[in-house]
């Protein structure tokens, strides 16, 4: 049983069930769209338009518009693809793993984390398609070879693995996210006075009436989807890691990559959740739902995972040294730690393994501004990690005659900025039109984890006995 006196209050302000429904549905039903939302939407749209130009330039003129060369054949496209996939792991990790571990503090955060997963994975899915160069041949990577006569898929291609992993993960995550919102759609349907909203949310709720049979099937469906989605957290990024580990290039051919990538994905995903929830609690005044206790819990998780990341970096260095392989030694000691990419390497180490250790101090964890900055630095560090893995191993391979430096072109930068704009715009739409928290789950933990002025009935009985004496 959750003891609020020991573990802290999860819902502050002595809320009632009606208060929870009103607070969560307020941005969709009562509040006018704030100015900051329009400004942020305009900026995100501008970024997306620039990204559309980058896509158009790539499709019309080819991959030659990128900064890739004969040596670094993978550039920002694969770097940003892996980075977005990592961020997309947060939703399932919050919803499934913390549910299995009976962590009740997840209830205020899981909905936004799941939404973040959808848009991040969708942003990641753009890169394999655009990286083909000939986007009109995109259907070649889908598994229906028997319909094409003599033409078959290359099942050994990492591109094929990525498409299958992304499409499966995106489908499962979206279904899980949508199923969880059905009761909330019904709540909005009943509370709105707009005929259009009542019709739209009525369709989205599938005629939900909140019967006992409906709740039983809802919980069964949620558990079933959760059980099916849980292995995807591990398998999807393991597949992405195998894209690299299946190669024989120095710095890539390592058995540590699958677990290393999975842990890194959860690390970057939790950091992005931290960033998002700090913004949500500030602009929507949800401080009583997303309390400092919630942010403290995420900070503790980041501290633990940061230690794992640091150990992984040390293991990579140790294995390269212990193996005495000259190619591995050169990549790690001359092209990363002390070479032309030393800044990117040490930024990765600092932001991922050193800076998060500040969370050991309670004063740091309780300072929202500092926590917000560290969460951003972690995601910058995780981007640098993908940059270091891709570029340092490709720029200097076995043949010195093929060595070449790499820098992104304007088109590559535009494509990446466009995906960021797409992600931000998706989150803004989510904030405006969908419930940011699971109403039913918040009500389920209210009495057990909330703050109440009324004393417990056991305390009342003890007081009466004491007065009689």
**pLDDT tens digit string along 127-146?**
877 877 777 777 776 665 55
**More confident site: 432 or 49:** 49
Assess whether pLDDT exceeds 60 at residue 1.
Answer: no
Q: Which tokens in the block code for residue 444?
A: 């389920």
Q: What is the mean pLDDT of residues 170-193?
A: 85
pLDDT digits 0-9 by tens, 298-337: 899 899 999 999 999 999 889 888 888 888 888 888 888 8
Rg (alpha carbons) of the chain, rounded to whole number: 24
Q: Is the dihedral of CA 427, 433, 437, 438 positive or negative?
A: negative
Residue 464: pLDDT band by 50, 70, 90 thresholds? low
pLDDT digits 0-9 by tens, 146-160: 555 555 556 666 667
Predicted local confidence at residue 460, as pLDDT: 45
Predicted local confidence at residue 450, as pLDDT: 56
Predicted local confidence at residue 432, as pLDDT: 86
Q: What is the mean pLDDT of residues 41-65?
A: 91
Match 């500030």 to its residue by tokens.
282
Q: Which tokens in the block code for residue 356?
A: 């998060």
**More confident site: 113 or 96:** 113
Residue 15: pLDDT band by 50, 70, 90 thresholds? confident
Assess whether pLDDT exceeds 90 at residue 355.
Answer: yes
pLDDT digits 0-9 by tens, 189-208: 888 888 888 888 888 888 88
Predicted local confidence at residue 147, as pLDDT: 57
Q: Are 384 and 344 in contact (CB under 8 A)?
A: yes
Predicted local confidence at residue 288, as pLDDT: 83
Predicted local confidence at residue 150, as pLDDT: 55
Predicted local confidence at residue 41, as pLDDT: 93
The predicted model scores a pTM of 0.85
- Buried b / exposed e across 305-325, counting CB within 10 Å, b at 16+? bbebbbebbeebeeebeeeee
Distance CA 218, CA 436 (A): 19
Residue 461: pLDDT band by 50, 70, 90 thresholds? low
CB within 8 Å of 241: residues ≥ 6 apart:
257, 258, 260, 261, 262
Assess whether pLDDT exceeds 80 at residue 46.
Answer: yes
Distance CA 435, CA 112 (A): 9
Angstrom distances, CA of residue 345 to CA of 255, 332, 335, 336: 21, 10, 9, 6
Q: Is 392 exposed, middle or buried (0-12, 13-18, 19+ CB in 10 A)?
A: buried
Distance CA 161, CA 244 (A): 12
Assess whether pLDDT exceeds 80 at residue 276.
Answer: yes
Name the CATH code of domain 4-463 (choices 1.10.3720.10, 3.40.190.10, 3.40.980.10, 1.20.1630.10). 1.20.1630.10
**More confident site: 126 or 132:** 126
Torsion, CA 230, CA 233, CA 238, CA 239, rounded to 10: 90
Distance CA 395, CA 167 (A): 31
| Per-domain boundaries in the chain | 4-463
Classify 72 in phi/psi space as left (phi over 0), alpha (psi -120 to 50) or beta: beta
CB within 8 Å of 466: residues ≥ 6 apart:
none
Predicted local confidence at residue 457, as pLDDT: 45
Predicted local confidence at residue 401, as pLDDT: 79
pLDDT digits 0-9 by tens, 359-403: 999 899 889 999 999 999 999 999 999 888 888 888 887 878 778
Angstrom distances, CA of residue 83 to CA of 71, 152, 211, 330, 429: 22, 30, 42, 26, 22
pLDDT digits 0-9 by tens, 406-449: 888 899 999 999 999 999 999 999 888 888 888 888 887 777 66
Find the range with the poorest average confidence among 90-94, 337-341, 400-404, 423-427: 90-94
Distance CA 162, CA 141 (A): 10
pLDDT digits 0-9 by tens, 215-237: 888 888 877 877 777 777 777 77
Return the number of other C-beta atoms located less than 10 Å from residue 275's C-beta. 19
Q: What is the mean pLDDT of residues 338-362?
A: 91
């Amino acid at each position: 049983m959750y003891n609020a006196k020991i573990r802290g209050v999860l819902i502050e302000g002595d809320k009632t069930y009606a208060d929870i429904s009103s607070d969560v549905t307020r941005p969709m039903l009562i509040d006018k769209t704030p100015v900051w939302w329009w400004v942020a939407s305009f900026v995100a749209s501008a970024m997306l338009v620039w990204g559309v130009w980058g896509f158009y330039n790539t499709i019309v003129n080819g991959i030659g518009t990128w900064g890739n060369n004969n040596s670094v054949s993978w550039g920002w496209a694969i770097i940003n693809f892996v980075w977005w996939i990592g961020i997309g792991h947060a939703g399932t990790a919050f919803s499934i793993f913390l549910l299995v571990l009976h962590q009740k503090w997840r209830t205020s955060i899981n909905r936004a984390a799941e939404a973040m997963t959808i848009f991040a994975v969708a942003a990641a899915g753009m890169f394999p398609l655009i990286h083909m160069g000939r986007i009109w041949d995109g259907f070649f990577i889908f598994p229906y070879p028997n319909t094409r006569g003599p033409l078959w898929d290359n099942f050994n291609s990492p591109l094929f693995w990525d498409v299958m992993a992304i499409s499966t993960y995106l489908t499962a995550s979206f279904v899980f996210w949508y199923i969880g919102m059905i009761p909330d759609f019904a709540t909005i349907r009943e509370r709105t006075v707009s005929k259009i909203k009542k019709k739209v949310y009525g369709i989205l709720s599938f005629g939900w009436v909140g019967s006992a049979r409906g709740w039983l099937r809802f919980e069964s469906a949620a558990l079933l989807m959760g059980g099916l989605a849980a292995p995807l957290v591990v398998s999807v990024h393991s597949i992405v890691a195998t894209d690299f580990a299946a190669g024989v290039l120095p710095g890539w051919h390592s058995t540590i990559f699958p677990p290393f990538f999975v842990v890194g994905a959860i690390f970057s995903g939790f950091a992005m959740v931290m960033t998002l929830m700090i913004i949500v609690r500030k602009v929507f005044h949800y401080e009583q739902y997303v309390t400092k206790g919630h942010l403290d819990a995420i900070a503790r998780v980041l501290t633990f995972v940061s230690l794992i990341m640091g150990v992984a970096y040390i293991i990579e260095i140790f294995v390269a040294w212990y193996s005495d392989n000259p190619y591995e030694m050169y990549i790690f000691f001359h092209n990363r730690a002390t070479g032309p990419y030393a800044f990117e390497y040490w930024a990765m180490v600092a932001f991922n393994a050193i800076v998060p250790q500040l969370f050991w101090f309670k004063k740091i964890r309780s300072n929202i501004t500092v926590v917000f900055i560290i969460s951003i630095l972690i995601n910058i560090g995780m981007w640098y990690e993908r940059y270091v893995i891709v570029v340092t191993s490709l720029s200097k391979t076995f043949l010195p005659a093929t060595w070449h430096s790499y820098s992104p072109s304007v088109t590559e930068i535009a494509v990446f900025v466009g995906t960021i704009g797409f992600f931000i715009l998706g989150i803004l739409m989510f904030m405006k039109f969908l419930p940011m928290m699971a109403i039913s789950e918040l009500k389920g933990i209210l009495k057990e984890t909330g703050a109440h002025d009324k004393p417990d009935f056991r305390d009342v009985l003890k007081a009466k006995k004491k007065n009689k004496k």
